[in-house]
Chains A and B, each alone.
Chain A
Amino acid sequence: MAGDELPPDEWERDPGRTDEESVAERDLDIDVSETILELQPVFEAISHPRRRYLVYTLAEATEWSLDELATKLAAWETDTAKANIATLTRQEMYTSLYHSHVPKLVDLDVIEFDADTETITPGPHAVQVLAALEGAGGSLDNRQETHARSEFDQEDTR
């Protein structure tokens, strides 16, 4: 219960604008519901740290092989240099991405996945999701973002 009501001069500035404002409010309502619909894929996409990581990498390079991504993400989660990632760890990450997170992000139109070449590229909603990550609370996993955007050394992955 807020005791203070808005000062009258802010509450009803000008009776002549009432109609205009209610129109604006109606517009606002419509905009809000549309925004929520558009945000649904964003929330789903970023609700898992592995998916956030994947989206962050799309800002660094727009094309990834699933194998590269699995190595990079395994290096992040185990806090290990890429050269030291055990095969098993990489297989676990690859499996998690291939059977769960990649198809989920494809479903949400955040990425596109070429099953033949196992290549990941941004989908129609990628920009939107990345913008949301950068705007709202992206700093919460700043270290993850930095790692995801760091360059990928391919020579020492095996």
Chain B
Amino acid sequence: MTSSNDHTDDGTRLAPDGNEPDDPDMTFVTQAHYERESHRDLTTEVIFAIADAVGVAPVDIKDPPLYECVDIAAIEDGFFGPKVAGHTRDSEGSVSFRYNQYRVEVASDGWITVSEPAEYEEVSGSE
């Protein structure tokens, strides 16, 4: 699974919208935006973003299934779910989790940010 070569040291460390990862040890890799009206569910959007980060086709991201890492359905429901008892959900913030070496952050505005440890070679297996 660690087939990705580090191709992020080319100056593109900042997200297009300036969402810099708050953790200085993490390096921004890629970003995607989840649209609540899209036919893509949050799971698909996250996996497509990770595939973009790894540089492979989304269907080649297999191990592990995202379902085993994080309760995506709960995040999708909590941030983007339907109205509850007539009130829109107004939770603001973000949730982040690890997928292999990547850190994936899902924010309530729909931005999905994928980062990886700045010095991945040295810290692999130490977390």
Contact = CB atoms under 8 A, between A and B. Distances in A.
A56 interface: no
Interface string B21-54: 0000000000000000001110110011000000
A96 interface: yes
B66 A91 contact: no
B62 interface: yes
A92 B39 CA distance: 9
B73 interface: yes
B54 to A, nearest CB: 14
Contacts of B73: 100, 104
Interface string A113-154: 000000000000000000000000000000000000000000
B47 A99 contact: yes
Given A91-B58, A91-B59, A96 B67 contact: no
A77 interface: yes
Interface in A32-84: 77-78
Contacts, number: 48
Nearest to A98: B65
Size category of the A interface is: 10 to 19
A95 interface: yes
Contacts of A99: 43-44, 47, 61, 65-67, 72
Contacts of B47: 95, 99
Contact of A100 (B57, B62, B72): B72
Nearest to A47: B73
Contact of A91 (B39, B57, B62, B67): B57
B68 A95 contact: no
Contacts of B59: 91, 94-95, 98
A100 B43 contact: yes
A84 to B, nearest CB: 16
A95 B39 contact: no
B41 to A, nearest CB: 5
A98 B68 contact: no
Contacts of A100: 41, 43, 65-67, 72-73
Contact of A77 (B39, B62, B65, B72): B39
Given A100-B72, A100-B73, A95 B65 contact: no
Interface in B67-111: 67-68, 72-73
A119 to B, nearest CB: 15
Cβ-closest 4 pairs across A and B: A103-B67, A99-B66, A100-B43, A95-B44
Given A100-B43, A100-B65, 5 more contacts: A91-B57, A94-B58, A94-B59, A95-B43, A99-B66
Interface of A: 77-78, 91-92, 94-96, 98-100, 102-104, 107
